[in-house]
Amino acid sequence: MKLRRSGKGPNGQYAMSVSTPGVSESPQTIGQWIGVIVVLALFAMTGLMGSLTVVAGVRHLLSDEQLLPVPVALLLIAVGLLLSAIGIGYFYFRYVKKPLWDAQRARLEARYPGQPWMMRKDWAARRIVHSNIGVMALLWVWNLGWWGALAFIGTVNRDKILAALDSSWWGYVPGALFVLCGLVALRLAVAATWAHFRFGKTTLRLDTLPAYAGDKLRGTIEARLQSRPDAPLKAALVCEELEWISYRRNGKTTSRLDVTQRARVEREILVSLVFVSREKARIPVEIDVPADSLEFDIDSEGNGIRWTLHVEAPDAKPPFAFTFEVPVYLRRP
C-alpha cells in the first residue's frame, strides 16, 4: 500500500490518498464518477466524430458533384480513421485487453511468488528494447492532425481567408504562425524517423536478473552502429522517484509529474570494449548498484521508484543515446 500526495490544501499541507498496487480502484466520490463519465464521453465522441468524418470523406470522394477536391476528401478519410482508432481503441484496450493483461499478471504472480521482475515480459526474457518508433508515430499523428486541420479549414473557408488577407497585412501573422508550428513539428517528425531507421531497435541483453542492491548490473547492448565511437561511451544508472501530484487552481484540477533523482552511478565504457560487426555493435555494460538502493516499484498510477540505464556517445558521428528501464531489487531472504 502506498501514499500518494494529492496536492496542497487550504492549510498549506499536502493531502494524502492511499493506493494499492494491483487492485483496480473504482471511483469513490461524485467528482471521480463525473471525471470517469467525462473521459468515457470524450472518447466516445472522438470515435463517433471519426466515423462521421470517414463517411463524409467517402461520400465526397464518390460524389459526382465533387464538392471537395480528391486530396482533401482523402485527407478527411485519413483524419477520420485516426480519430476512430483513438476513440474505439480506448474502449478496446480498457474493456478487452486490460482484463486479459490482469489475468495474465495474476497467473505470473502465482507462478513466480516474490519475484516481481518476472511480471514484465521483457525482463523475464532478459531482453529490453529501446526504440524511437513510439515518438516517431506520435509526431506523425500530430502532424497529420495539424496539417489536415489546416487543409480542411483553408478549403472550407477559402473565400473568407482571402478576403481577410486582402483587407490587412496583419491577417498573414496568425497563418504564418500556424504554418511555422507545423513546420517545426514536421522537422521533429523527420528527425525521429531518421533516428528510427538509422538505429532501429537497440537491445539490452541482461546477464543479471535482477541486479541486486550492493551488486552489479551486467549486460550487453546490441546497437546498429557502423563503426566504433571515437571517444569512450558514457553510462549512467539512475534511480528516480516518480510522483503524480494533483492540485486545484482557479477551480480546475491539474496533474503534473514530479521526478526526484535518488541515486546516480556513472562510468565510462572504453572504446576498445566495443565490438563492431557488419550487422551490429555489442557494447558491454557493468555498473555498480549502490548498497542502500531502493528497489524498482511503480504502482498502477505511475508513482514509485524507477531505475533506468542510460548509454550515450555525444561525440560520435552521428551522436546516439539509449535508455532502458532495468530491474533493480533488494535481495529476498
pLDDT at residue 304 greater than cutoff 50: yes
pLDDT at residue 24 greater than cutoff 50: no
Q: Are residues 180 and 245 in the same domain?
A: no
Q: Which residue type is seen at 231?
A: A
Q: Are residues 148 and 45 in the same domain?
A: no
Q: What distance lies between CA 131 and its chain's CA centroid? A: 11
Q: Total structural domains in the chain?
A: 3
pLDDT at residue 245 greater than cutoff 90: no
Task: Compute, in degrees rounded to 10, the torsion defined by CA atoms 151, 153, 158, 163.
Answer: -130
Q: Are residues 142 and 192 in the same domain?
A: yes
Domain endpoint, select from 152, 176, 200: 200
pLDDT at 131: 82
Quote the Cα angle for 149-151-152, to 5°.
Answer: 65
Average pLDDT of 18-45? 71
pLDDT band at 327 (very low <50, low <70, confident <90, very high): very high
Q: Are residues 146 and 259 in the same domain?
A: no
Q: Are residues 162 and 57 in the same domain?
A: no
pLDDT at 18: 36
Average pLDDT of 266-273? 91
CA distances from 173 to 152, 184, 306 (A): 19, 16, 45
16 phi-psi bin (left φ>0, alpha ψ -120 to 50, beta other): beta
Average pLDDT of 77-102? 89
Q: Are residues 74 and 172 in the same domain?
A: no
pLDDT at residue 6 greater than cutoff 70: no
Q: Are residues 147 and 229 in the same domain?
A: no
- Pick the residue with more confidence: 25 or 220? 220
Helix H or strand E encompassing 268: strand 252-269
Sign for the CA dihedral angle at 97, 99, 103, 105 comes to: positive
Domain endpoint, select from 111, 146, 173: 111
Q: Are residues 39 and 58 in the same domain?
A: yes
140 phi, psi to nearest 5 deg: -70, -35
pLDDT at residue 14 greater than cutoff 70: no
Q: Are residues 207 and 318 in the same domain?
A: yes
Domain endpoint, select from 153, 170, 200: 200
In a domain, 125, yes or no: no
Q: 283, 280, 290, 277: which is closest to 312 by C-alpha?
A: 283
In a domain, 23, yes or no: yes
CA distances from 243 to 2, 137, 200, 215, 256 (A): 11, 27, 31, 27, 8
Tell whether pTM > 0.75. no
pLDDT at 29: 79
Q: 89, 173, 87, 181: which is closest to 142 by C-alpha?
A: 181
Helices (runs of H) and strands (runs of E) counted in the chain: 7, 14
Q: Which domain holds residue 165?
A: 132-200
In a domain, 257, yes or no: yes
pLDDT at residue 242 greater than cutoff 90: yes
CA distances from 232 to 219, 283, 288 (A): 17, 11, 18
Q: Are residues 4 and 107 in the same domain?
A: yes
Q: Are residues 226 and 189 in the same domain?
A: no
